[in-house]
Amino acid sequence: MRHMLAVVCLVLLISPAHAAGRLAEVLVIDRDSGTPLRTYYHRGEYWVAGKPGARYAIEIRNTLQERILAVTSVDGINVLTGDTARWDQSGYVLHGDEAYEITGWRKSQAEVAAFEFAAAPNSYAARTGRSANLGVIGVAVFRERVPEHAAPGSVTAAPPSAAERENSVDSRLRRAEADEAAASGGKSASVAAEPTPPAKLGTGHGAREQSYVDYTDFMRAGSRPNELVRIRYDSRDNLIALGIIPRPGATPVDPNPFPGSPLAHFVPDPPPCSRGQARQCVHD
């Protein structure tokens, strides 16, 4: 099966902070600052807060010393073909220890439409009648089965196919070291009492940008992913209302196992003696 291999690839020199995934580490990058959005871990899921109108990229880093295939979806849609996402579709081919940024919906081998956070009705998924899976980024990671006769590291190029509008990651990787702030351990006491959050975010079909890719062959080691990475996203206000991000000014303190007990102490001094207690105070 033919897949897309990025022409531009960069090797990460810094291990990304708060990345989701093990075989492939995945981050959501704010393209204006070039830094990763902070990842919050809540009830077994990874979350990031998006801002309407802000451009973002999906950074994928291959942690293995071999090629992998990363079938990537946004809002339940394959970012290469625009089809409703499935594991058996085309994806990005990453060499060992390489990292890429996926910056948009693939339009051709030379162009993408930028990913940008958008109100739900303006998302690409909603505009194409597929709004059931807004607010989720998925990466299905496949290891490669290399035929015995193939030379290690060899790549067989394939001509473009009109039936497969496939691509790989693109764009220069601009990353600054992310803050190592751990995800908060304190959450809102009650979600039910909170007001209903506004409409969730989706991903829009942004401005066209240059992005050059090429085709390559890739044979999967199995029919099911070796790893499935999922990152959910929504507005900051929604994440606060859901208890995923602590409310401003409500910084949690370290938990106390005995909150009703005073701090440990030794015998306190007695109160000062009065004039009538002077003799007894001497004995004390």
pTM higher than 0.95: no
Cite the beta strand spans of the chain per DSSP E. Answer: 2-6, 10-11, 24-30, 35-36, 40-42, 45-50, 56-62, 68-74, 77-78, 92-94, 98-102, 104-108, 111-119, 136-143, 201-210, 213-217, 227-235
**What is the predicted pLDDT for the residue at 127?**
97
What pLDDT is recorded for position 211?
Answer: 94
- In tens digits, the chain (284 residues) has pLDDT values of 667 665 444 333 333 447 899 999 999 999 999 999 999 999 999 999 999 999 999 999 999 999 999 999 999 999 999 999 999 999 999 999 999 999 999 999 999 999 999 999 999 999 999 999 999 999 999 999 977 765 444 333 333 333 333 333 333 223 333 343 343 344 433 334 445 566 689 999 999 999 999 999 999 999 999 999 999 999 999 999 999 998 876 655 566 676 666 655 567 677 776 665 555 565 55
Q: What was the pLDDT predicted at 49?
A: 96
Question: 203 forms bridges with which residues in the sheet?
Answer: 117
Q: What is d(CA 30, CA 244) in angstroms, rounded to the nearest whole number? A: 20
> Residue 72: what residue type?
T
Residue 214, token pair as written in the block: 């090429």
DSSP string covering 170-187, please? BS-----PPP-PPPPS--
Q: Are 79 and 73 in contact (CB under 8 A)?
A: yes
- Residue 183 CA to residue 239 CA, distance in Å, equals 13
Identify residue 270 by its one-letter amino acid code: P
Using only C-alpha atoms, the chain has a radius of gyration, in whole angstroms, of 26
